[in-house]
Amino acid sequence: MSFTIAIDGPAAAGKGTISKEVARIFGLAHLDTGLLYRATGARRLEGMSPIEAAEALRPEDLEREDLRSADVARAASEVAAIPEVRAALVDFQRAFARRQGGAVLDGRDIGTVICPEAEVKLYVTASDNIRANRRWRELVSKGATTSPEAVLADLRERDARDQARATAPLRPAVDAVLLDTSEMSIEDAVARACEIIRASR
């Protein structure tokens, strides 16, 4: 039997860490769907057509070292607004979600478009300033030189584009449980996510 957990939300709200931990704790496979758009965006930056890049994407492309950069993040959110790019990535995500033993998928449209039948849907948020601060500390710890203000501007631009696009915009599914991590440590956020999941199993 397949068991799917859909975790959506804006950038740097904590969904990546929560998803990884939840997958580990419940013994489920995990797919960070942002990587599909990042890998497509990276190809776009190299001059490839985004639709062709999405259609030709292979699992090993998700392992590229440069997918976490700010340039790739911006390119990802640009290609993610193209309906044909999104369409090219649907089957891979749905097949992953149905795998034996269950799966956790995190992204922007998992609960609304990719897996509307998911057994559990979480929508993870945090205030803009807190998200920007977390992402800024993460970037600086990896050696990047940037300011919290620049990171905040970047996140806001990306969220606005993700929320405004016509195809699969970022928004909570009607049956998603909201998890605001603004005042929570990452441990508390993971514990709360686990409670919600156990309650719906």
Candidates 74-82, 123-131, 139-147, 189-197: pick the segment binding ligand C5P (CB under 6 A): 74-82
Is there a binding annotation on residue 41? no
Among 28, 57, 80, 179, binds ligand C5P (CB under 6 A): 80
CA–CA separation, 163 vs 195, rounded Å? 28
Is there a binding annotation on residue 88? no
Q: How far is the CB of 9 from ligand C5P (least distance, A)?
A: 9
Is there a binding annotation on residue 10? yes
Task: Tell me which H or E stretch contains 106.
Answer: strand 103-107
Residue type, 41: G
Q: Which is nearer to ligand C5P, 158 or 192 (CB)?
A: 158
For 117, counting Cβ atoms within 10 Å of its Cβ (0-12 exposed, 13-18 middle, 19+ buried), the class is exposed
Residue 126 interacting with ligand C5P (CB under 6 A): no
Is there a binding annotation on residue 14? yes
What is the residue whose two structure tokens read 């620049």?
A: 150
Q: How far is the CB of 161 from ligand C5P (least distance, A)?
A: 7
CA–CA separation, 187 vs 7, rounded Å? 17
Residue 115 interacting with ligand C5P (CB under 6 A): no
Candidates 76-84, 130-138, 141-149, 184-192: pick the segment binding ligand C5P (CB under 6 A): 76-84
Residue 73 interacting with ligand C5P (CB under 6 A): yes
* Contact status, residue 97 vs residue 114, Cβ threshold 8 Å: yes
In the range 29-58, which residues lie near ligand C5P by CB under 6 A? 33-34, 37-38
* Contact status, residue 7 vs residue 21, Cβ threshold 8 Å: no
Residue type, 139: L
Q: Is 104 helix (H, G, I), strand (E, B) or coil?
A: strand
Q: Is the dihedral of CA 129, 18, 145, 67 positive or negative?
A: negative
CA–CA separation, 62 vs 139, rounded Å? 20
Is there a binding annotation on residue 6? no
Q: How far is the CB of 15 from ligand C5P (least distance, A)?
A: 8
Binding footprint of ligand C5P on the chain (CB under 6 A): 11, 33-34, 37-38, 73, 76-77, 80, 107-110, 158, 162
Binding-site residue positions for ATP: 9-17
